[in-house]
Chains A and B, each alone.
Chain A
Amino acid sequence: MTIAIHTDDLHVYFDRNHALKGVGMDIEMNQVTAIIGPSGCGKSTFLRCINRMNDLIPGCVVKGRVMVNGQDVNADEVDVVDVRRRIGMVFQKPNPFPKSIYENVAYGPRLHGVLEGANGKMRRRKHAKAELDAIVERSLRRAALWDEVKDRLDKSGTSLSGGQQQRLCIARTLAVDPEIILFDEPCSALDPIATAKIEDLLVDLKEDYTVVIVTHNMQQAARISDRTAFFYLGELIEMGETKQIFERPQKELTEQYITGRMG
């Protein structure tokens, strides 16, 4: 197995609050990795280190290394815009732009344009309309939303139901062609049917992408993930095959959490 994400002694501080305490983790490529743990255990903070979303929070300091495909995302020569293009993120609450469905999906590709050329002479150009149309359709199909919205691409993204909005957000992320997709409790605002659709989609997506999902729903982690990491009070307590974590946890804390005696 290839390692997609590797962290080493990762610490995060929010002013004086030590939120992540030396987390070292390997996340494998083309797998679904679930991160579980009680509220405030640092699982979302960890996720946001991977695409550097913590940069946006004033007073947040990240120490330690986050290697994505062998490159340190915090290195000086790395462009944060490039990191976020390569590592997509889907949030807890569906957050489509108040624009049309088409514009929601086309926004990312429009931002980045097409990189063309060879022999060190690369340049960016705008997408042609047909190329953009193709990306929008492909992304919506991949997010299992195309059939529901193909006749109303010009309608506002916010007019969709919660589950559809979340799949739109996934399509929007897929449109920029990332390598890794981070999901931060993507189903916590959705009903069970919408949740099931997203879960199916996640399992399906690992074929082409590395998927990392933070969830407070243990059944969800057990259903869809290959590997599971358990966080407690800012530390990685245990990580392993999902089956092993849920059936034969090695650590006392893990067992207490998954059997519902804690958290």
Chain B
Amino acid sequence: MLGRKAKEAVAFTLFRGCALLVVLALAVILGYILTGGLERMSVEFLTGMPRRANTQGGILPAIVGTFYLMLIVLAISVPIGVMAAIYLVEYEQSSWMGRVFRLAVYNLAGVPSIVYGLLGLGIFVAYLGFGFSLLSAGLTLSIMTLPLMISSAREAIAAVPGAVREASYALGATKWQTIRHHVLPYALPGIFTGIILSVSRAAGETAPLMLTGVAMSLQRLPDNLFDSFMALPYHVFYMATQSSDLQATRPIQYATALVLLLLVLGMNLFAIVLRKRYRDKYRW
């Protein structure tokens, strides 16, 4: 039998091991992609158009396409998600309706991304006539990330202490004033975390794009919302499975994956800086 102290040590080691595993996984991924992709990285690769069926030239259209997708998701998913979350916490906390909404959000989060792709194909591409376009794909990704956005914003808003709300009401603030002056500002750091997760997830999705408008190769940038586009994750998929010369294009896959990672990490860094600023502004 193990003594109390030994059990303590085993538990601690186990927990630390699990935490380290996460760091290790990230390090392996980064190392793998860096070693494979750095050789192909160049100014031309980042700023040029693809040539010769993507085996030469750059990936600028894919970078710009993914960036636009992230912007569309940011513009649609974030406001709708935050407002829905406010409604769920502040107006329907314990009602029958609120429970139905929460259940819907949780279940929506579990729907596979390819199903969202089919939904986007049916509604945005075909029914609403947006065609295979940046808009159709962006809207599809927005709907897909909405549950994640709502549930993280909901948690952040619900974490604002009830005592603060009471203090505001007791001074004669209305519900809307309480939300705008207190609940939202104090919940912002948590909401930023939700934004990071949602936009990163949207940036990395491939399956829904295939049904809503991603192109294999374009020699130009999309110039309006109804244009077709390239995207980084799909480019990786394409180069890894459909290329005529897999050996020759392997470095391109790595380099593209590296660019995708950098783009997402860059966005995250921006959000983390914002989050830090708000955390410092409101000290509990």
- Chain A residues close to B by CB (< 8 Å): 51, 53, 56, 58-59, 81-82, 84-85, 88-89, 91, 93, 95-99, 107-108, 111-112, 156, 158-159, 169, 172-173, 176
Q: Which of B179-213 contact A (CB under 8 A)?
A: 181-182, 186
Interface assignment of B270: CB less than 8 Å from any CB of chain A: no
The 7 residue pairs across chains A and B that have the minimum distance between CB atoms: A85-B172, A95-B163, A98-B282, A89-B170, A108-B171, A84-B172, A156-B283
Residues on B with beta carbons closer than 8 Å to the beta carbon of A89:
166, 170
Q: A88-B170, A156-B283 are in contact. Are A95 and B164 (CB under 8 A)?
A: yes
Specify which chain A residues have a CB less than 8 angstroms from the CB of B242 in the assembled complex.
none
B224 at the interface (CB under 8 A from A): no
Q: B167 contacts the other chain (Cβ, under 8 Å)? A: yes
Contact present for B169 and A98 (CB under 8 Å)? no
Per-residue CB contact flags for chain B residues 152-185 toward chain A (1 = under 8 Å, else 0) read 0000000001011111111111100100011000
Instruction: Check if B95 is an interface residue, CB within 8 A of chain A.
Output: yes
Q: Within the complex, which residue of A93, A97, A108 is in contact with B172, where a contact is CB–CB below 8 Å?
A: A108
Q: What are the residues of chain B within 8 A of A172 when measuring CB–CB? A: 167, 171
- The range of chain B's interface size is 20 to 34
Q: Kindly report which residue of chain A lies nearest to residue B161, judged by CB atoms.
A: A95
In Å, the complex CA distance between A91 and B161 comes to 13
Asked if A176 contacts B171 (CB within 8 A), the reply is yes
Q: With the chains together, A98 CA to B94 CA distance in Å?
A: 27
The digit string for B264-284, where 1 denotes a CB below 8 A from any CB of A, is 000000000000000000111
- Judging by beta carbons under 8 Å apart, are B167 and A111 in contact? no
Known interface pairs A95-B161, A107-B168; 18 further A-B residue pairs with C-beta atoms within 8 A, sorted by A's residue number: A51-B170, A56-B165, A56-B166, A58-B93, A81-B173, A81-B174, A84-B172, A89-B170, A91-B170, A95-B164, A98-B164, A98-B283, A98-B284, A111-B172, A156-B282, A158-B283, A159-B283, A173-B171
The smallest C-beta distance from A60 to any residue of chain B, in angstroms, reads: 12
6 contacts across the A-B interface (CB closer than 8 A): A59-B94, A81-B173, A85-B171, A95-B163, A95-B164, A97-B182
Let me know if B164 and A58 touch, CB within 8 A.
Answer: no
Total number of A-B contacts with CB less than 8 angstroms?
A: 68
When the two chains form their complex, are residues B172 and A82 in contact, meaning their CB atoms are under 8 A apart? yes
Distance in Å from the Cβ of A213 to the closest Cβ of chain B?
15
Closest-by-CB residue of B relative to A159 is B283
- With A56-B169, A82-B172, A158-B284 in contact, is A107–B164 under 8 Å at CB? no
| A112 and B170 contact, CB distance less than 8 A | no
Task: Give chain A residues whose Cβ lies under 8 Å from the Cβ of B283.
Answer: 98, 156, 158-159
Report the nearest A residue to B98, measured CB to CB.
A58
| A178 nearest CB across to chain B (Å) | 9
Cα of A99 to Cα of B177 in the assembled complex, Å: 16
Given A91-B163, A107-B181, A158-B284, decide whether A53 and B172 contact each other with a Cβ distance below 8 A: no
* Residue of A81, A159, A173 with highest tally of chain B CB at under 10 A: A81
B172, closest chain A residue (CB) = A85
Given the complex of chains A and B, what is the CA–CA distance between A58 and B164 in angstroms?
18
Give the distance to chain A from B239, nearest Cβ to Cβ, in Å: 49
Determine the distance from Cα of A89 to Cα of B283 in the docked complex, in whole angstroms: 23
Q: Which residue of A lies closest to B93 (CB)?
A: A58
Please tell me if the beta carbons of A111 and B186 are within 8 angstroms of each other in the complex. no
